Amino acid sequence: MTDVDRATWQAILPSQTRVVQANGVVRVTVPIDLLPATVQQLGASARLADMFADHQPHADPVVRLVWALDVDAHRYLVTETDCPTEEYPSLSSVEPAAFVEECEIYEQFGLRPADGGPLNRVALPPHVDANFPRLGRTPPRDAADIRAPHTVGGAAFEFPFGPVRAAGFESLYYGLVTSGEEVVDLYLFTWHKYRGIEWRIRGMQPRQALFLVERAEGLSAASHAWAFAAAIEKALRISVAPAASRIRAAAVELERIYNHVAAIAALCQSTGLAVAQAQIEVILEQLLRIGARFFGHRYLFGVIDIGGVTRGVDLRGLSTETRAVCADLRDATDALNSTNSFLDRLEATGLITTSQASSLGLVGPVARASGLAVDTRCDHLQPPYDEYPVDVACADSGDVRARYHVFLAEINAAVRLIKDLAVPDCDVDVQPAAIPVSAGSGLGWAESPRGEALAWVELDSDGRIRRGRLRPAAVRNWRAFGDGARSQNVFTDIPIIEASFWLTAAGRAR
């Protein structure tokens, strides 16, 4: 941030706020009484990307909001507000995208929005007690009105589905409310997958924590590892070699391809096309084997390291094999694109409008299929995407068919990008980079297959993690799943909608 930028934002925000920059992070200190006004002003020109809290001994809890300036400035701002009491001004009433994080903050820190509105249970299971590990203080009391009411009235009834659903599926509970065939409401419980990743990494060295960060959402292991590594690198001013950045990007693009292929296979399964499903799952298996051959792991664990990568990769060989497999995928999807019984099930199913996507802060293919061209690879450039531009695939109908076409376009774009990244000089030093023992803070990001993945870290003077925050795209996008399910759909549409969102319960409950 330049002095001109700082002066510009200081002029836009309320006068009592203070804009500073430290350790590569732009921070805006906001008094608690000005927080709603500041959120309203920032919301007019920025996207709320994350909201989380911190509580250190002998200090007031702090609520942080991460704002993405997706146009013009192309950077992130972090606002910080001290909360001397158990309440802070409700922000979801001003910025609806903040609701899920308000629920998380209450569960982990006991801080409640001052409007007293009901909150949903997001991560912690209902049987937890005061001794359950939390990031901050236990809520002093679980008020009778704290949870959103779970009631079904009239002629409607709740059809329970989950949490055990099928072999290979994550634990996830749907309460499908209906009076017959049409879904009129949906209750979603993801807390069965809670593992306390952010609590577990506290006190760890950054390289130790990478193991758990990758497993916060295993199908986006490379993306989250990159976001976390980037946060550490910004906090400690560690540089990354260009060749290592290209290998990182190639791993994430391969991750994008195999996730989109898996989503298409799930769409085939949910629409009853067993032969097409089998064909595409063969292609998925080939892609996973390519990952194991070139990166050492089918799901790309252990590829990214602090300051670089763990191994050199033959990117030209990776490009050749990936293009060959995706040529087979094109043959399979060409057949799908001429199958009316498939396309008819996707059209006008699971609708998410542009205004819904914007107000909920959606990211990734779900947002892009609803007309929002948000993509951190373009909006928040970092190497190597600053030299290898990405074509952002968008649609505007917001239904399952739009998301399916975005998947196809992004697969093609990822294949081209891997080819572009395969320059002759791909040799890297795979020796572990020295990590300075120093305090610092940093924000990192990457564009995972599901959308923007964020990581915030604060290191103490011993170089250990004092606070680590992971924000997978699932935190943002699961809330829209309920809206999509309620948009005049029937029971058999729900698996189709879930496949098109291609989210994980682990990413939300982590």
Binding site: which residues? 198, 470
Task: Supply the angle between the helices 206-214 and 221-236 in degrees, to the nearest 10.
Answer: 160
Query: Is residue 349 within 8 Å of residue 494, measured between CB atoms?
Result: no
End-to-end CA distance of the chain: 32
- DSSP state letter for 28: E
* Residue 50, helix vs strand vs coil: strand
Say which residues have a Cβ less than 8 Å from residue 229's Cβ, sequence separation at least 6: 210, 304, 305, 306, 307, 444
Residues in the chain: 510
Place of tokens 């569960």: 107
Annotated binding site for Mg(2+): 198, 470
Q: Cα–Cα distances in Å, from 315 out to 250, 354, 508?
A: 8, 37, 33
β-bridge pairing 75-82 and 25-29: parallel
Based on the number of CB atoms within 10 Å of its own CB, is 453 exposed (0-12), middle (13-18) or buried (19 or more)? buried
Query: Is residue 13 within 8 Å of residue 43, measured between CB atoms?
Result: no
| Residue 443 backbone dihedrals phi, psi, to 5 degrees | -120, 130
Say which residues have a Cβ less than 8 Å from residue 426's Cβ, sequence separation at least 6: 243, 246, 247, 312, 313, 314, 315, 316
- Measured CA to CA, the distance from residue 49 to residue 143 in angstroms comes to 29
Place of tokens 């903040």: 98
CA dihedral 212, 49, 80, 233 (to 10 degrees): 50
Listed residue (67, 51, 70) closest to 111, CA to CA: 51
Query: Is residue 473 within 8 Å of residue 368, measured between CB atoms?
Result: no
- Measured CA to CA, the distance from residue 428 to residue 154 in angstroms comes to 65
Query: Is residue 415 within 8 Å of residue 257, measured between CB atoms?
Result: yes
- Measured CA to CA, the distance from residue 147 to residue 126 in angstroms comes to 11
> Angle 51-56-59 (CA atoms, 0-180°, nearest 5)?
100
**468: which strand partners?**
457
**Count of C-beta atoms within a 10 Å radius of residue 82:** 14
Q: Cα–Cα distances in Å, from 179 out to 24, 107, 482?
A: 54, 33, 17
Place of tokens 């799901």: 299
